[in-house]
Amino acid sequence: MSRLGRINEGNGCQVPNPYSVRSIAGVHFSQPATLNCGMVAPVHDWMENTVQPAAGNAFGERVVSVDIAASYSCRPRNNKRGAKMSEHGYGNALDISAFTLESGKKVTVLGDWGGGKDGRFLREIRGEACGQFATVLGPGSDRHHRDHFHLDLQQRRSGKAYCR
Ligand SMILES: [Zn+2]
């Protein structure tokens, strides 16, 4: 994990304290993720206290890497022009599309959401992410999230998490 210079693209996209994260809690990232410093601790805690115990229960092994679909990205929500800025534009969001275990087995959000042991693992870690993160989206949320989990720390006046 290394500290990056402040990001400010002058169009609303900005990350005051960005880090480039290559792994977290011993879990390797498929590509370095640029995250606001506030995201680092919740992602670490979710990996360590939710994802690893769930993988241990479901498969008897640890998750060694995750496929990162997106992190910091200067774009409106769902890439829709005119839409509100995505939390990705603040480095405040992480998209994960797959989890790889020690044995090499890969559990993908797109392919394994359906059911069985893999699906139960995915449902459990998604469910537990709600509250640890302010927003949790995935298959069933809308057509943009069928192949990944979106986790972010959007601040809402209600203080309530949005998980669907
Ligand atoms: Zn996302």
Checking if the pLDDT of 162 tops 90, the result is yes
110 vs 113: CA distance, rounded Å: 6
Residue 88: other Cβ atoms inside 10 A = 23
Q: How many structural domains are present in the chain?
A: 1
Q: At residue 79, does pLDDT exceed 90?
A: no
Q: Which H or E run contains 40?
A: helix 37-46
**35: CA distance to ligand 1 center in Å?**
12
Residue % of the chain over a pLDDT of 70: 100
Q: Are 54 and 121 in contact (CB under 8 A)?
A: yes
In whole angstroms, what is the distance from residue 118 CA to residue 54 CA?
11
pLDDT-derived band at 123, boundaries 50, 70, 90? very high
| Neighbouring residues of the ion ligand 1, judged by CB less than 5 Å | 93, 95, 150
What is the rounded CA–CA span in Å between residue 56 and residue 58? 6
What pTM was computed for the model?
0.95
CA of 104 to the centre of ligand 1 (A): 25
What is the model's pLDDT at position 100?
A: 98
Cα separation values, 134 from 11, 79, 128, 129, 161, Å = 24, 20, 12, 9, 4
Say how many Å lie between the CA of residue 2 and the centre of ligand 1: 22
What confidence tier does 70 reach under pLDDT thresholds 50, 70, 90? very high
pLDDT of residue 58: 97
Q: In whole angstroms, give the CA distance from residue 134 to residue 115.
A: 26
**What spacing in Å lies between the alpha carbon of 70 and ligand 1's midpoint?**
7
pLDDT at 132: 96
Mean pLDDT, rounded, of the chain: 95
Instruction: Determine the structural domain holding residue 57 and report its residue range.
Output: 2-163
In the predicted model, is pLDDT for residue 80 greater than 90?
Answer: no
**CA 83 / ligand 1 centre spacing (Å):** 14
Q: Work out the average pLDDT over 75-83.
A: 85
114 contacts: CB under 8 Å, gap ≥ 6? none
CATH number, domain at 63? Answer: 3.30.1380
pLDDT tier for residue 75 given thresholds of 50, 70 and 90: confident
